[in-house]
Each structure stands twice: as structure tokens, then as C-alpha cells.
């Protein structure tokens, strides 16, 4: 198991934080909150802080919000950036988290690509999901349109290949829609809803030269909802089978 503080360079001030990363992390939480609206869910267990965007967005919608994070550097940065949020932060690896508490919602946003054993994480946290509760999983999509184009152009040798940015972020694998669904089913979950996150047709550098750049990014997120197989990210809602 790696020391997570060794793969936090992209979360520190001054890092070259991708515009697309910020776009994605601010896009999908409202999509989830729309699914939960009116259901009376009050408690959330979230795995990982990352840049803190998603945690801050979710926080005001839950009365009980627990976050497990294994990198002390990331926790310190989050506390500096969001000093007023009412969150219980648990420092530790997901594999070691121990509690008898169950939650209405468990959130695994761009987590499973980082861990040593994704199946183990899904099994361990199933017991923390209240009966009738919902688990949300988001992961990068190996078969996104831009990666398919990269493969066809010879830019990558394999569709599941990790690039330099993946390694900098501590990614250990790529998923696609089929492999993620198979893993979820194997670990006792039923997919009840899914959609794509950000349909990217061209490299970001080229798109930045186009007129109405920000409007195009927004449109790519909206259109991508219906085309998960081609999107940069996959988002799934699951319940215990």
C-alpha cells in the first residue's frame, strides 16, 4: 500500500490543475443531488477529498457528512480552503476504516482507479450503506472518445494504458463501462442509473482556440449524459442486490 502523501503533487497550490478536472468535479455532484432530491436522505459517507470541490458541494445537502481520506497533506489543504464546513474528517486508508454506522448515501467519486483492490473497497463499504441507501461511483473511462482517437492515431498502445498524468495522480487502472459494471455486479450491487461525464471530441488545447469555449465545454457535459461509452468519466448509481 503506497504512502498517499507521495502522490499529492496535483492537489497542492501552484499545481497545473486541469481545467477539465475542475469542470468534471463541479459537474457531477449536482447530477447526483438531482437524483436524491426529495428522498429525505440525510447522511453521507464520502471516500476521499481530492481537490475538495465535490465535498464542498455535497456538504450543504446533508446533516451528517463523514469523509475518509488517507493523505494528511490533502486533509490539511482542505481545512485551509474550507474552514467553515461541518464535516467529520477521518484520516486513514479506506481499507482500514472501521465503524458500525450506516449511511443513506456512500460516495466513491473517482476513487476505485486509485486503490489496490477495488473489489475489497466495494465489499467493505457495503456494510456502511443503510438498507435502501444508494452508492454512487464515478471513474475515468478508458474507452472515451478522445482515448479511442488516441489509440487509432497510435498515441497510446492500449486502450487501458495509464499515461503520465494518471501516474502523477496515483491511478492504478482504467475502467470502461463493461468492466465497472461487471465489478459492481460481482460485489453484490445492482446498477439503477448511469450516465456519462463530459464527451470530449478534441484535445483541450485545440478546443481553447475555438469561439465560445466555455459554452462548448458545458454543452459537451450536457450531451455526454446520454453517451457514457464515449465520455471521459462514468457515473453509476447502485444499490445492494
- CA torsion sign for 164, 11, 136, 230 is negative
Please say if the pLDDT value at position 141 is more than 80.
yes
Higher pLDDT residue, 189 or 84? 189
Mean pLDDT of the chain: 92
121 near 154, Cβ under 8 Å?
A: no
95 near 64, Cβ under 8 Å?
A: no
CA dist 8 and 31 (Å) reads 27
**Beta partners for 107?**
46, 136
pLDDT bin (cut points 50, 70, 90) of residue 237 is very high
pLDDT bin (cut points 50, 70, 90) of residue 210 is confident
Strands 64-69 and 88-91: parallel
* Model confidence pLDDT, tens digit, residues 172-197: 999 999 999 999 999 999 999 999 99
The residues, any chain, with a CB within 8 Å of residue 217's CB and separated by 6 or more, are 20, 23, 207
Lowest mean pLDDT among 34-43, 49-58, 146-155, 161-170: 161-170
Tell me what pLDDT residue 189 has. 98
The residue-averaged pLDDT of 50-67 equals 95
In the numeric block, which cell numbers belong to residue 93?
486508508
Amino acid at each position: 500500500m503506497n504512502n498517499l502523501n507521495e502522490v499529492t503533487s496535483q492537489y497542492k497550490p501552484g499545481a497545473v490543475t486541469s481545467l477539465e478536472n475542475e469542470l468534471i468535479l463541479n459537474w457531477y455532484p449536482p447530477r447526483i443531488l438531482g437524483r436524491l432530491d426529495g428522498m429525505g436522505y440525510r447522511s453521507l459517507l464520502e471516500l476521499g477529498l481530492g481537490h475538495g470541490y465535490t465535498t464542498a458541494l455535497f456538504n450543504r445537502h446533508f446533516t451528517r457528512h463523514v469523509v475518509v481520506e488517507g493523505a494528511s497533506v490533502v486533509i490539511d489543504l482542505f481545512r485551509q480552503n474550507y474552514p467553515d464546513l461541518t464535516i467529520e474528517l477521518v484520516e486513514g486508508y479506506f481499507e482500514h476504516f472501521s465503524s458500525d454506522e450506516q449511511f443513506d448515501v456512500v460516495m466513491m467519486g473517482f476513487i476505485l482507479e486509485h486503490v489496490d483492490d477495488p473489489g475489497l473497497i466495494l465489499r467493505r463499504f457495503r456494510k456502511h450503506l443503510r438498507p435502501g441507501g444508494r452508492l454512487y461511483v464515478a471513474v475515468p473511462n478508458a474507452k472515451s472518445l478522445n482515448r479511442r482517437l488516441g489509440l487509432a492515431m497510435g498515441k497510446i498502445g492500449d486502450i487501458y494504458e495509464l499515461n503520465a498524468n494518471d501516474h502523477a495522480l496515483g491511478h492504478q487502472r482504467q475502467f470502461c463501462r463493461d468492466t465497472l459494471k461487471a465489478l459492481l455486479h460481482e460485489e453484490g450491487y445492482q446498477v439503477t442509473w448511469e450516465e456519462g461525464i463530459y464527451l470530449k471530441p478534441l484535445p483541450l488545447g485545440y478546443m481553447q482556440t475555438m469561439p465560445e469555449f466555455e459554452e462548448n465545454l458545458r454543452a459537451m457535459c450536457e450531451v455526454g449524459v446520454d453517451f457514457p461509452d464515449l465520455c471521459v468519466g462514468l457515473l453509476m448509481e447502485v444499490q445492494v442486490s
